[in-house]
Amino acid sequence: MTDTPPASEQTGVPTCYRHPGRETYVRCTRCERPICPDCMVEASVGFQCPECVHQGNRDIRHAKGRFGGEVATVPRLTYALIAVNVVVFLLQYGLGDADLIRYDFGLIPPLVAEGEYYRLLTSAFLHNGVTHLALNMWALWAVGQSLELWLGRSRFLVLYGVSALGGSTLVYLASPYLSNTAGASGAIFGLFGAIFVISRRMNLDIRPIAVVIVLNLAFTFVIPLLGGANISWQGHVGGLVTGGLLAFAYAHAPRQNRTAVQFGAAGAITALLLVLIVLRTAAFT
């Protein structure tokens, strides 16, 4: 008993390599295999099959920015961070007891020393009122967009997170024993320090940025002396120094090993912060 070949083979009509029952006279311009209408992907010339399109996308080298990150045209991560902070704020005050939430997730040094290290990061997404949130989100919007486009999303996200940890670390080291600190200011001041360093590296006019940093530091120390709201200078200074150091590594990393140096610096700074946290915890016990 012998098998009868399909009618298409008997007549010599080509069939789609992915759908053998479909006759077609169209071939992929890259691999020249026959493809049916469901498998045709329009190319600059003719059509390609899905496999060649997928392989072509893998071979494309994405454009790199001046500091090694992929070029971004829309600062989506900045907008996402603003959205997260706003949503957390709405939950914080919408659940009915903002003070309790700040107690559960704010940076209270003795509770961190007891093992609640998550407070070092969760505190960076809590805010003490609408004004506190609005000022921080305006600063994030004003500074974050440029940094994200210059650095690329991954480097910007690392910068934001390490700066937040740097601010929290100095709070943990130097704030009053029973203080309860909250706010994104550590991360924001890290962005201030970073945009100063990056702008200088790009030979931009850094005077406006320097004025903003000096004014914010002045407010940080002067307002509490005048009887205003308590402002955590520790969070601001810690974030500023951390963000500036990491941005220096971003800006001056050698081209041939740029990615390794940049993320290695981020890891080294994070490791140093963790050592300081461990030492502080040991001092509590």
Question: What is the identity of the amino acid at 228?
Answer: G
Neighbouring-strand partners of residue 181:
107
* Interatomic CA distance for residues 266 and 88, integer angstroms: 27
| 44 included as an active-site residue | no
* Interatomic CA distance for residues 232 and 247, integer angstroms: 23
| 185 included as an active-site residue | yes
C-alpha torsion 40→46→51→53, nearest 10: -110
Place of tokens 């098998």: 3
- Write out the E strands in the chain: 41-42, 47-48
* Interatomic CA distance for residues 281 and 28, integer angstroms: 64
Q: Please, which residues have CB within 8 angstroms of residue 138's CB and are 6 or more apart in sequence?
A: none
Instruction: Identify the H or E element spanning 50.
Output: helix 50-59
* Interatomic CA distance for residues 251 and 265, integer angstroms: 11
Nearest to 168, CA basis, from 156, 153, 154, 180: 180
Choosing from 123, 163, 168, 185, the catalytic residue is 185
Residue 109 structure tokens: 């040094």
The DSSP 8-state label assigned to residue 71 in this structure reads P
Check: CB of residue 188 under 8 Å from CB of residue 196.
no
* Interatomic CA distance for residues 87 and 237, integer angstroms: 26
Choosing from 123, 132, 199, 236, the catalytic residue is 236
The DSSP 8-state label assigned to residue 27 in this structure reads B
Provide the annotated active-site residues: 185, 236
